[in-house]
Structure 1
Amino acid sequence: MTPPQKTLEQTSPAACEILELISYNREHHDKYTGTSVEDILSKIQGDRINWINIDGLNNQDIIEKVQTFFCLHSLLIEDVLSDQRPKAEEFDDYLFFTLKMLYRIDGTGIDYEQISFVLGKNYLISFQEKEGDLFDGFRERIRLDQGRVRKKQADYLLYRLIDIIVENYYNVLDRIGDLIEEIEDTVYQNPSMRTFNRIQRLKKELIYLRKALFPLRDALSKIVKGESEFVHEENLRFYSDVYEHVIHLTDSLDTYKDLVSSLMDIHINAMNTKMNEVMKVLTVISTIFIPLTFIVGVYGMNFKFMPELDWKYGYFGVWGIMFLVVAGMISFFRYKKWF
């Protein structure tokens, strides 16, 4: 369905909003960027595929004008502006699809944003929370007419964008795998509360990834089963491929979750072992000083008749006895392999 044309008032959006339109077919390709939503929407052509991208969702005026132009449901706009779990929802004239776009993992924190798509007959709208995305290379491929996208409909464009997002999930998971290995080495070498906190943060990120991936699997499942009239049958196999990637990611995620849980147990055991070593050393020291304290206590008594007090070599003799006691106890402990 060609998007309905509406008369719009001229209003300039906030500087933080970025509007972009890529309009193409097999023969032509045009790209428009600007600060006026009216200028962008006026360049939409019914005989082309039109990709409208909105970076930044703070300007309510832009959202309302896009909503009016494409007759978008108010509940859909509410989902776009709020934090939503990935899902696919079909309306009368378009398909709504939302998911999380991950960029990288810095330390143990994942940089991400929500991205929402509205797929119509010859248009695709993408709503992004902030500037920048993963699609610059793909935009260039469209311009150069590389691949199939210029020969396909808007549903194929949606598939390619989702596929790019899902592929980057692998990079994030690979980084998590590297972090697990780094933390594991640290745990064996020098377990500490800082390492424990890193494990805890990583565990929370895995929980977030689980919340992002499992609903995405269900959303793609709806499309793969052919339940949407906005996805052509010939393109279902592409969505099925993305669906299989998500299944693989969820399996990998479960593996990493088990590894982090094991890492937590290893850290606790390592901390206990370290504490036991400290306690063992302190116990050995305390045990050694028990007889020495006894000897010193005996000769510290103020009795008048103590023969050793009048002995010329009594002081040195006591030191010699204490030295022999210490040496004997250390030899005994080493013989027992207590340290």
Structure 2
Amino acid sequence: MWQEICQARGPSGTGGHSRQYSRIKILFEKGEGVTDKIWHDISEDSLEVRQSLIEKLNLSELQRRILIENRWLPQAVEGGDWLLIKAEIPSIERRNVHWQGLTILLSKNKVITLHRDELDSEVAERIEAYRPGALSSSLIAATMIQFTVEQYMPILNSIDDVTDQLEDTMIRDPGKHQLQQLFVYKRQLADLRKVILPLMNMLNGLSNGRYSIFDEKCAIYARDSYDYAWRVHELIDTMRDLLTSALDMYLSVVSNRMNDVMKRLTIVTTIFMPMSFLTGLAGMNFSQLPFHSDVMFWITMALLVVLPILMLVYFIRSKWL
């Protein structure tokens, strides 16, 4: 099975890019890549490679412009003998969503894929698992798109697990690092949602027969990917709501702690108010006031001790402390 699949790629290291570009030219000049191979995988995408494909393939003007501009969001454009499919494979790198661009050029009996870096080995394993007679260019393209859609779920599961942990720790000990994590995950979900919506639109077109080049027998795979993408979209919206609720909970916990601190400071201020009044009154230098008496001195000292104790007892009974 794997012998039917031709991989046009240059060796790693010095000179790999130029040799890979030469290999592509040889494929088309000799006719080798046009007649007897099903899948041509180009793992070092570049402007030179795209220009070479434009020169050798019967592409529409819109497809040519998309290839040159290397547009980012998923889309599908049919023209000439080829169907151009753009997809993005997500992954998380350093708290940011990293997108591996995947360009698929599909004809009735061939598929060409362009991307940077190596594809996951699971893609090849899935394609090798098909029966020899069932393998077609549309099936290869549908399998790669299906793999692309499935890469969203591990990211969402990871965010969901961390969100649950954040909610537990925020109640016990809220901190600024938790707030930063919340904003990081909200940004990741926003990035995923930005791509999943056009991806759903593309999958809808593949599943309802909008493109004649895409084999109708493979529409079931596109429908399955569309259903999966729809569940991913719903889960993204649900998790955005959960993160918003977690953010509200964080602000509520911080506000409650601030209110508790203010309450304690208010109690301390309230306790010292009568003491400040008594010390201020007894400290006035007026001979008419009988504070030169020893009895009044001890009465004032007793009040300074008794009043705070009585106030503390009242606050405790009122459950303010």
TM-score by length of 1: 0.81
Q: Letter of the aligned partner of 2:22 in structure 1?
A: E
Partner residue, 2:319: 337
> Would the alpha carbon gap of residues 32 and 86 (structure 1) be closer, same or farther in structure 2, given more than 3 Å must change?
closer
Q: Is 1:165 aligned with 2:148? A: yes
Residue 91 of structure 1 corresponds to 79
Q: What is the deviation of 1:318?
A: 4.1
Equivalent of 2:269, from 286, 293, 296? 286
Matched, 1:139 2:91: no
Alignment pair present for 1:230 and 2:219: no
Is the Cα–Cα contact under 8 Å of residues 105 and 175 in structure 1 kept in the other structure? Answer: no
- The correspondence for 1:39, drawn from 23, 26, 33, is 23
Cα distance, 1:265–1:308 mapped onto 2, change above 3 Å:
same
What displacement does 1:45 show?
Answer: 4.8
Q: Is the 8 A contact 1:166 1:246 kept in 2?
A: yes
Instruction: Classify the secondary structure of the residue corresponding to 2:73.
Output: coil
Partner of 2:257: 274
Shift of 1:243: 1.1
> Superposition RMSD on alpha carbons, in Å?
2.6
Listed as ranges, the gaps of 5+ residues in structure 1 are 1-24
Return the match for 1:298 from 281, 287, 292.
281
State the AA in 1 paired with 2:311.
M
Deviation at 1:224, TM superposition (A): 0.5
In 1, Cα distance between equivalents of 2:150 and 2:169: 30
Equivalent residue for 2:191, pick from 208, 231, 242: 208
Cα deviation, residue 77, structure 1 = 4.4
> Which one of the candidate residues 210, 217, 220 is aligned to 2:203?
220
Output the CA distance in 2 between the equivalents of 1:169 and 1:149.
30
The number of equivalent residue pairs is: 307
1:310 to partner: Cα distance: 4.7
Q: CA deviation at 1:51?
A: 2.2
| Cα pair 1:203 1:260 within 8 Å, conserved | yes
The amino acid that maps onto 1:322 is: L
- Aligned partner of 1:327: which letter? I
Greater fraction of residues in helix? 2
Aligned residue in 2 for 1:325: 307
- Residues 105 and 172 in structure 1, CA contact (< 8 A), matched pair in contact too: no
Give the deviation of 1:121 after TM superposition: 2.5
Residue 115 of structure 1: which of 95, 102, 115 is its match?
102
Aligned to 2:14: none
SS in 1 for 2:9: strand
Q: Which residue of 1 aligns with 2:90?
A: 102
